[in-house]
Structure 1
Amino acid sequence: MTEGDPVIPTDPDFEALLVYLKESRGFDFTGYKRSSLMRRVDRRMSQVGIVGYPDYLDHLQVHPDEFTALFNTILINVTAFFRDADAWDFLRAEIVEPLIAARAPDAPIRIWSAGCASGQEAYTLAIVFAEVLEIEAFRERVKIYATDVDEEQLTEARQATYGEEDLQAVPAELAEKYFERAGGRFTFRKDLRRSVIFGRNDLVQDAPISRIDLLSCRNTLMYFNAETQTKILSRFHFALADGGILLLGKAEMLLSHGTIFAPVDLKRRVFRRVPRALYQNGGALTDFPASTASPVAGLDQLRTEAYATSPLAQLGISADGLVALTNARLETLFGVSSRDVGRPFRDLDLSYRPVELRRHIEQAQAERRPLRVTDVEYLRAGELIHLEIQLSPLIAADGSVLGVNLAFADVTAARRLQDDLEHAHQQLEAAYEELQSTNEELETTNEELQSTVEELETTNEELQSTNEELETMNEELQSTNEELQNINDQLRISTEQLDDANSFLETVLASLRAGVVVIDHDLRIRMWNRRAEDLWGLRSAEVVGQHFLNLDIGLPFERLRPLLRGVLGEPGGTAETAVEAVNRRGRTITVRVAATPLVTADGGHRNGGAIIVMETEALADATVDTV
């Protein structure tokens, strides 16, 4: 958070959850705005019936599939072809066409679509440039780099296949030209897809793509806080070539970043990269030749008095390092006066305090160019003042170095004014951030509602179309419908029976209060129930297929190995023992372990496997009491 941002109290448990997401899955949400982020995580927690962040972290550890649902809730991927059509019309006419016209016919064009989601925006950019360049030139010259942090979205984008409702904003002639229809789906042209390169890129952590001519990042920055926005915009500035274009979403502005991006069209959120400031080297001061005649009487005295009464503290040093010239302001500031003329400069305190000047003097003489030393702090009479020191080499008419002139400018007032201006700017930025945050929240809500409305409209149109077709073909397909209905009824009954059987089996396994493990003859795990997960902290997906005696859990396997070998070696036998163990929370418990071989319904031995039942001593006693 930058200075001036509104202070939002942080929840240590929530921050711990963000750290876990970053370390376990590589998603860094620490730069996101806490209000929006916490609201979306809370929404997902309520869906799974969890209240506290520590409990939800524990839930993520045990159920890895939950990560996908959580990320889909946090990363609201709202995108569309030609979204905000007015901005795309402006981009083509005022940006793309002049950009191409200013380039050589074979010059490459590099484009970056940051936060591309499922790819609609990247393919929209491809259509716009292909329309201006023509297809062949587009394939040869244009590269579009489309990046996002969501791997699932990138997988969908690479397939480039969309439904009819996704292409509603695409003009009919463009849809026919750039998409191939297969049933009810539309796929972007394969020959043009080679120019669109998709890859994962975290705008906060990963390095930016360089030498970009056009960078589109629409409605993505609004999810980040001010500090992270500044970091990302700095990377965008690095990524863009000189004069490169940045296209943002209609909910985003750059009021506080005018030094690196200049507005091209604020209404449509189009900005141009501002080149980095170039430092201009001033010319060297030269001495007038002694023989030069002057029409001004007493010119030498005039020069001396002008130097002596200059408002800047000045010091002239000869080529051999001796003090040659001083003025009144220098004596007031540093105590160096005309009495010091002829002394070696290195003997003066000024040579090293408030800043080491000797190496700068040598550099100015060697390079024969002015140097500036900034941000110099000097404590004089208990008052801290800020100085800027200008070192200018003095060059004779024949090119020889006469010495160096040092000018000390007191910039304390300007520094204070700058500090006050920065403080006012930070206050203004904080107020703007609050307003922008509110606007972003409204924009996000509007996008979610718009997405819901679009889905409902699409569903309604599909139902209406299906109804019309069914009415037209009803007489011809009546017999077929009856047959399909019979088949469907049979399939539904079979499916319900299968679902009932699966649900029953899952209920039985979940209801067991003891940990149950099924192993084969080689002691490899074939089944691991939920109670076993709770006891030892390992999920079924992590242990199935593993050797039971090689698991890193708190059971004393040296005592269980003979028991298991005995059961597997004698079909029909059953063995039981009680052992001291350490559960997943590090507590010592007494576990009763019973093993019995697997048998078929007719009593036959089943592949030499066995069932291992593990129950804590307390649970076993309760079972006995109940019986």
Structure 2
Amino acid sequence: MSDNTIPPADDQGAEFERLLQYLKDARRFDFTGYKRTSLMRRVNHQMQAVQVSSYEEYQDYLELHPDEFTSLFNTMLINVTSFFRDTEAWAHLRGEILPALLERKGAGPIRIWSAGCATGEEAYSLAICLAEELGVEQVRRRVKIYATDVDEEALAEARAATFHERLLRNVPRDLVEKYFENSGQRYTFTKDLRRSVIFGRNDLVQDAPISHIDLLLCRNTLMYFNAETQAGIIHRLHFALENSGVLFLGKAEMLLTHGSVFTPVDLKRRFFRKVVTGGRPERTMLPGPGPVLAAVEGSDYHGQVRQEALNSSPVAQIVLDAESRVLLSNQRASALFGLTTREVGRPLQDLEVSYRPVELRSHLKQAVSDKRPVWVRDVEWTRNGSTVWLDIQLVPLLDRGGLLLGTSLLFTDVSRYRQLQTELEYANRQLETAYEELQSTNEELETTNEELQSTVEELETTNEELQSTNEELETMNEELQSMNDELQFSNTELRERTSEVSSLNGFMEMVLTTLEAGIAVVDHDLQVQVWNSGAEELWGLRQDETVGRHLLNLDIGLPVEHLRPLIRQALGETGERASAVLDAVNRRGRSIRVAVTVSALHQPDSRTAGTLVVMTTVE
């Protein structure tokens, strides 16, 4: 195509989404949770490589060229990693995190997971650190390092455990000699430690996490996903870790909005500890007509009737268990507060409804301690440009023995009655000037509070934008690093090939110089390609005077017009060698007889590349 530019994003968004869906259906690679900016940039790069200008055309190209999937996935899945990446963080891991983990585990088994391991350098770095702390034999007996990724090619390379010398630049020399076997410019990880590292495919978005993990590395992987997908992955990682487990992230990932599941151990170096959310098992999520879910063993007719009755109630209701975790909610509450299936089982204090439209945690504590209903009336809540007024009732649920079973939160919409009350107050304000002043002061205070809240929200939004920008920059940095590695590899191969060609040229030059006979190589157009020193000695023309010129136009003492039939015979279908003895005059002006032999030069595919002309003096 004459123009390989990619159309504007607003004209191709739907096409790009269809392409992602096609990749998911055809090859089971789900990229729908990845950030669109970096993902589109990488796909556009691959499209330009195959000279395709639209996503729709590229989808057709993939259907016609199945091999292109491999190149596309290699471009989309940026496998940038290295041994001991971010040296300061790894030093903290060896100096603080691992000793504490080993002391806590005693003589017990240790389970470590490297998620998004790419070609395995960080998994092997972990094995080296543990071998330095425990010894190789103890690592083999006690440690299992699970290394996973979605890229099968990267996993195959990781399993081979063989690395080029340049990839070990971050590994101290003594550790290289101790844990790697040298074979030229390639280094192979020692087999004794290799058995402790288990590689396998795992999609963090879809597949179940590995459980009972003591240390989990997921470095510069979350930054490729959008916020919603990140949240799902983080909860999987939380499930995977033991209660005292530690999460090690990349320098572009901070978990600022996930304080309910992970707390920083060292924020600068990106170490986080799991927050234990409770000892009860996860509840079973039962699908329903809306976002209403219940934690029950099964479902019967009466239970369904109770559930539908709850859903049909005009009052928004949320039911908490004895530990103030969300047990269920009806459709009215789900619509009012945006509750989804993910909120079931979470503590109320972690949800927005606990403090908006009003702070409920203190009232909930009062209702539970007093074991009697608590009312919070006339709560004003502005959302989506409209204002509603709520009466909130917190009712403790007790069994016959007075034991607390849970708490029911009822949100009654009293906006209509509030409107009538406002109209009445307006009439009263006409009569009571003092009340108007008091109300005005109250409104000013409420406005100030709203402004402060708005400022806080703006600051939070700015922080999230900065974090997103940081992740995008780190993504671009890794893309550039990946391209740089590819260029270095290509440059190394080019130097090796150039060296081989130079060596061959030198060898050929030595051979041609050694021969006493005059040698000339000509192509199909009879242009001289090679002119050796024997030919220079015989006819007195240097190589720079002959190469590139037509053989039959050379002014030498040989009757070159007699060479044409010999060359034609050698280049004929039979390819027979042709020879003749001609009278000539050498460079010194002496008359000589020259035996000329013309042979065809054949390429590996049997095609002729030209002819070899050998000129020898006959006594």
Q: TM-score higher than 0.5 here?
A: yes
Correspondence for 1:61 among 53, 60, 63:
63
* Contact 1:259–1:274 under 8 Å retained in 2: yes
Q: Tell me how far 1:9 sits from its aligned partner.
A: 9.4
Deviations 1:124-177 (A, max 9, x none): 111111111111110011111101010110111111111111111111111111
Partner of 2:245: 244
Please give the alpha-carbon distance, in whole angstroms, between the structure 2 residues aligned to 1:162 and 1:484: 42
Distance of 1:479 and 1:47 partners within structure 2: 38
Instruction: State yes or no: 1:378 paired with 2:383.
Output: no
3-state secondary structure, aligned to 1:81: coil
- Please name the residue that 1:569 is paired with: none
Give me the whole-angstrom Cα distance separating, in 1, the residues matched to 2:194 and 2:478: 28
- Unpaired stretches in structure 1, ≥5 consecutive residues: 1-6, 283-311, 318-325, 334-352, 385-416, 501-627
Residue 51, structure 1, aligned to residue 53, structure 2: yes
In structure 1, the residue matched to 2:400 is 365
CA distance in 2, matches of 1:66, 1:469: 31
In structure 1, distance between residues paired with 2:170 and 2:234: 30
CA distance in 1, matches of 2:20, 2:608: 37
Q: Which residue number in structure 1 is paired with residue 350 of structure 2? A: none
> Separation in 2 of the partners of 1:364 and 1:420?
45
- Counterpart of 2:255 in structure 1 is 254
1:137 maps to a residue whose letter is: Q
Alpha-carbon spacing, 1:376–1:172, altered in 2? closer, same or farther (3 Å): same
What corresponds to 2:471 in structure 1?
440
CA RMSD of aligned residues (A): 4.6
Residues 175-233 of structure 1: CA distance to partner in whole angstroms, max 9, x if unpaired? 11111122321111122211111111111111111111111011111111111111111
**Are 1:226 and 1:433, in contact at CA under 8 Å, matched by a contact in 2?**
no
1:539-578 alignment runs, 5 A limit: none
Amino acid at match of 1:444: T
61 and 455 in structure 1: CA distance in 2 versus 1, 3 angstrom threshold:
closer
Distance 1:171 1:484 in 2: 50
Q: Which has the higher contact order (CA 8 A, sep 6+)?
A: 1
2:187 alignment partner, SS class: strand
Once the two structures are superposed, residues 281-314 of structure 1 have per-residue CA deviations (whole angstroms, 9 ceiling, x without a partner) of 79xxxxxxxxxxxxxxxxxxxxxxxxxxxxx899
Q: How does 1:20-31 map to 2 (within 5 A)?
A: 20-31=22-33
After superposition, the Cα gap between the structure-2 partners of 1:456 and 1:66, relative to the gap in structure 1 and judged at 3 Å, is: closer
Tell me if structure 2 keeps the 8 A contact 1:213–1:244: yes
Instruction: Provide closer, same or farther for how the CA distance between residues 466 and 25 of structure 1 changes in structure 2, counting only shifts above 3 A.
Output: closer
Q: TM-score, normalization: structure 1? A: 0.54
| 1:365 shift after superposition | 2.1
Query: What is the identity, as a one-letter code, of the residue corresponding to 1:432?
Result: N
1:81-480 equivalent positions in 2, closer than 5 A = 81-105=83-107, 107-277=108-278, 364-366=399-401, 368-379=402-413, 382=416, 428-453=459-484
Do the aligned partners of 1:281 and 1:369 also contact (CA within 8 Å) in 2? no
- 1:498-531 Cα shifts (integer Å, max 9, x gaps): 899xxxxxxxxxxxxxxxxxxxxxxxxxxxxxxx
Secondary structure at the aligned position of 2:105 is classed as coil
Question: What letter is aligned with 2:38?
Answer: S
- For these two proteins, the number of residue pairs brought into alignment is 393
SS in 2 for 1:102: helix
Change (3 A) 1:478 1:12: closer
| Distance (whole Å) between structure 2 residues aligned to residue 117 and residue 127 of structure 1 | 18
**% of aligned pairs identical?**
53
**CA deviation vs aligned residue, 1:238-259 (integer Å, no higher than 9, x gap):** 1111121111111111111111
Q: Distance in 2 between matches of 1:185 and 1:371?
A: 65
Change (3 A) 1:66 1:461: closer
TM-score under structure 2 normalisation? 0.55
Is 1:256–1:429's contact at 8 Å kept on the other side of the alignment? no
2:77 to 75, 80, 83: 75
The CA distance in 2 between the partners of 1:485 and 1:73, in whole Å, is 50
Cα distance, 1:44–1:135 mapped onto 2, change above 3 Å: same
- 1:585-600 correspondence to structure 2 within 5 Å: none
CA shift, 1:373, in A, is: 1.5
SS in 1 for 2:399: helix
> Any conservation in 2 of the 1:60–1:66 contact (CA below 8 Å)?
yes
Identify if the C-alpha distance between structure 1 residues 122 and 35 changes in structure 2 by more than 3 Å, giving closer, same or farther: same
